[in-house]
Amino acid sequence: MLSLALWLKNNGFRPDQVPAFRPSPMATATAMYHSGLNPLRKISRTSGEKVEVIRGIRQRRLHKAFLRYHDAKNWPELRQALKRMGRADLIGFGEHCLVPPPREGRAAKPHAPAHAPKRASAGRPARASGARGRDERPGGRGGEKRRSGRRRG
């Protein structure tokens, strides 16, 4: 999972959603999940290519944290895992690093997300969330009314 996280970072991918695997009938992945063997290779009674299957919730959460390495909520868990793996060299601000080090001097809080809402300027009152101004209507038509596609007559 670490190598996948490094590959994602080096290639500029930042996944927002990571689906959890749910076994479903008649799927190759389900056969792998339940048997622990690769059904795409030859399987006999005595041998077969083993596949690592993660079933524990802690391991699943860690895998998800590695895939979402850029999320500040995952950084404490990733720092601990990297230290356990002997890869503390990936903690820091360098280009090759996966997560930043913990903040010194104050309690470590996650950074504000890049898409945080902006504060209103001092001279202008803030708008209620969801309220739009005249020029911000969908379709960019300003104050014009939308016409339906059908004719009346």
List pLDDT tens digits, range 72-88: 999 999 999 999 999 99
Query: How far is Cα 114 from Cα 122, in angstroms, rounded to an integer?
Result: 22
pLDDT greater at residue 130 or residue 55:
55
pLDDT confidence of residue 22:
79
Q: Is 71's pLDDT higher than 90?
A: yes
Local structure of residue 107 (DSSP, 8 states): -
Separation of alpha carbons 108 and 112, rounded Å: 12
Q: What pLDDT score was predicted for residue 29? A: 87
DSSP, collapsed to helix, strand or coil, labels residue 91 as strand
Stretch 48-60: mean pLDDT: 88
Yes or no: say if 37 and 30 are a contact pair by the CB < 8 Å rule: no
Distance CA 92, CA 117 (A): 28
Distance CA 140, CA 138 (A): 6
Backbone φ, ψ for residue 91 (5° rounding): -105, 120
d(CA 73, CA 111): 9
pLDDT band for 110, please (50, 70, 90 cuts): low
Domain locations in the chain?
2-90
pTM: 0.58
